[in-house]
Amino acid sequence: MTDRPNILWYCSDQQRFDTIAALGNAHINTPRLDAFARKGVAFTHAYCQSPICTPSRASFLTGTYPGANGVTGNGNEFFPREQESRLLPHRLAKSGYDCGLVGKLHLASAAHGVENRVDDGYRYFQYSHDHRGARVYGHDYAEWVRQQGGDADELMVPYQTKNYREGARVATFGGLYEPTASADNIPPDLHQTRWCSEKSIEFIDKNRREDQPWMLSVNAFDPHPPFDAPWEYSRRYDPETLPGAHFAASDIEQQQRLAAGGIDFQSEAKDPAEWEDKKLQASYYAMIEQVDCEFGRILDHLEATGERENTIVVFMSDHGEMLGDHGLVFKGCRFYEGLARVPLIVSWPGHFSEGVVSDALVELMDLAPTFYEAVGEEVPYYVQGKSLLPVLKGETQDHRDFVRSEFYGAIDYPDQTHATMYRDRRWKLVSYHGKDLYELYDLQSDPWEHNNLADAPDHQAVKWELVRKSFDATVQARMPTAPRVMPF
């Protein structure tokens, strides 16, 4: 056994923070994540650095803000070559780790079924952006479906859209697919989430030097829309028993105001019932339950092979999903809790605290320095994240005074909106730059952000104080320069 820990880094896609039973959701079934949380530290206030896939993933894989590393949106032709040496797997591979990836990478555009890679450090590479993409050479999940005797062309219904802007208005992109016992969506045994577990187990069992540590990035596509859970999981949820979206009548007016300002988003606001929000919620929860089951299978294999005690395991997501909150579905330039706040659970038996629920303010880019320190590597000078080790070891519960998130023209929409979020223990400020538009929420009295106080006369002092703090934090979020060694 190596004297440096392995790392299993499981990242679901578009999973909200409030989707784990043990952390307060009485309507979802997540037994494996519940048990996992009892063996680790669960962070209830973890925030992504952009509410869109590519900039979020580039951020937590480098430990830097999107605006600092230059990867600010989806659809980029390639990941910047000058940033490849700052990718965590690249650096760990150079230090002797055997690195693997299963599922999504999404550091560059994946619209054609595969994406351009740089020297990312992954020796083992089993790629599948999603279960509906192009069934082309290089889409390893599609090939696996064929090997299992499945018809990939029939199961993997392609997106029927020519561009990202119209995608949210077509069913294959984000619609609801209600299965039945006789007319299923992709069944569990052929599902991409199952494939992720199968290939993860394959990687763990791969021949490598006896003393060589490994890092595995597992990136399932679910519960990203479309809402198309398999029947086996879908049948377990009755939409009528679910609470539905967080919504107030004032939300429509607020969203219309933002839409009038041109703020980019993948959907237009309407009453959640028009989205069939409870049915969406049921399918979304069912997809998460399947993720829960398959994540558990990987943990079981780690136990069976005797590697669990020497493996840091992380479960998280890249960003959330509106799911009808405020009348919106999908994602875009908003920073509501359901979109910017994600699950994060970290476990390393015998080294990290167990059964701890931490409300520390955390940014996903804090994981990179955490990993570097845990494996005995020096934290690179450019890393902007802050190591979580003191919290994980129970030395403190204080971590950050505030968290940030950025949206810099992140989706292929007309306005190319630029906005930033600044959130401390009580307040959240969202600044839509160049718009003279703000959102200000008192999260103590209004945790689901229905009452925008930005124009309230009695909140102008706190608003402008937060604008100043947010501006200062944005300036400090630039890419650090190389360490100074001489006066000139």
The pLDDT score that the predictor gives to residue 3 is 86
pTM of the predicted protein model = 0.97
Gyration radius of the chain over CA positions = 21
Q: Determine the topology of domain 6-405 in CATH.
A: Alkaline Phosphatase, subunit A (3.40.720)
What are the tens digits of pLDDT across the range 108-164? 998 888 899 999 999 999 999 999 877 888 899 999 999 999 999 899 877 766 666
Q: Please state the domain extents for the chain.
A: 6-405
First to last CA, the chain: 47
The pLDDT score that the predictor gives to residue 171 is 78
What are the tens digits of pLDDT across the range 247-278? 999 999 999 999 999 999 999 999 999 999 99
- Residue 246, pLDDT > 80, answer yes
What are the tens digits of pLDDT across the range 161-220? 666 666 667 777 889 999 999 999 999 999 999 999 999 999 999 988 888 999 999 999
What are the tens digits of pLDDT across the range 48-107? 999 999 999 999 999 999 999 999 999 999 999 999 999 999 999 999 999 999 999 999
Residue 376 pLDDT grade (very low, low, confident, very high; cuts 50, 70, 90)? very high
The pLDDT score that the predictor gives to residue 2 is 66
The pLDDT score that the predictor gives to residue 160 is 66
Q: Average the pLDDT over 6-10 and give the result.
A: 98
Tell me the percentage of the chain whose pLDDT exceeds 90. 91
Residue 411 backbone dihedrals phi, psi, to 5 degrees: -130, 160
What are the tens digits of pLDDT across the range 213-243? 999 999 999 999 999 999 999 999 999 999 9
